[in-house]
């Protein structure tokens, strides 16, 4: 009986130590969004201090998933933060980008670094995201946005282990058809218009 209690105690101590190590490993990731929000706020401030009434945006969009990548470009003339004219569009999507919309998109991407699948109550998988943004040093607009997502099993949640027995579960590598993950990169150049 005493041997059984010692075994349970050791097991519980091992699990506790593992949980503590995993928590400590996650601390740098928790600090990153605050730093990103600060740089976003600074960039918005730079843009607001010297906004261009009219400008031309050139965007190059690269998507990569499962070794396949696609590149497209859009060029847009913007007047008073409204799309005035679509100069060229090779992306097959409406050309609706403005600097304000880019800032809002970056803020939305940074808001949710991970989410559960298939639901918050049965968090069998986690889709984790990382956003890296480079801001123009003079005008402040986002000159490069790199958004990466990955799906992985949530091994710490008992729901993952239970859901593995469900033959209809597609697995974590097929979250909403995203495969194991991918990258979306947008490079932006801006030229003020008179």
pLDDT in tens, the chain (194 residues): 556 566 666 655 555 554 444 444 443 443 344 444 559 999 999 999 987 789 999 999 998 876 678 899 999 999 999 999 999 999 988 999 999 999 999 998 887 666 776 666 677 788 778 889 999 999 999 999 998 888 778 888 887 777 777 766 666 765 544 455 678 889 999 998 87
**Residue 169 placed within a domain:** yes
Token pair in block for residue 21: 């190590």
**Residue 142 placed within a domain:** yes
Token pair in block for residue 44: 């918005």
Structural domain that includes position 184: 51-192
**Residue 13 placed within a domain:** no
Q: What global pTM score does this model have?
A: 0.68
**R_g of the chain computed on alpha carbons:** 22
- The number of domains in the chain is 1
Q: In whole angstroms, give the CA distance from residue 154 to residue 171.
A: 11
**Residue 128 placed within a domain:** yes
Longest Cα–Cα distance in the chain: 85
**Residue 118 placed within a domain:** yes
**Residue 38 placed within a domain:** no
């Amino acid at each position: 009986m005493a041997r059984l209690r010692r075994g349970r105690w050791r097991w519980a101590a091992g699990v506790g130590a593992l949980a503590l190590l995993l928590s400590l490993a996650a601390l740098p990731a928790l600090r990153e969004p605050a730093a990103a929000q600060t740089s976003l706020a600074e960039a918005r401030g730079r843009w607001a201090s010297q906004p261009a009434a009219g400008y031309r945006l050139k965007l190059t969009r690269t998507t990569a998933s499962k070794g396949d990548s696609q590149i497209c470009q859009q060029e847009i003339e913007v007047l008073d933060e409204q799309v005035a004219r679509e100069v060229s569009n090779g992306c097959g999507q409406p050309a609706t980008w403005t600097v304000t919309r880019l800032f809002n998109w970056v803020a939305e991407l940074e808001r949710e670094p991970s989410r559960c699948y298939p639901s918050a109550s049965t968090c069998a998988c986690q889709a984790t995201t990382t956003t890296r943004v480079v801001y123009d040093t003079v005008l402040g607009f986002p000159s490069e946005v790199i958004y990466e997502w990955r799906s992985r099993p949530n091994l710490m949640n008992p729901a993952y282990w239970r859901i593995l027995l469900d033959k209809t579960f597609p697995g974590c590598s097929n979250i909403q058809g995203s495969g194991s993950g991918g990258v979306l990169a947008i490079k932006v150049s801006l030229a003020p218009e008179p």
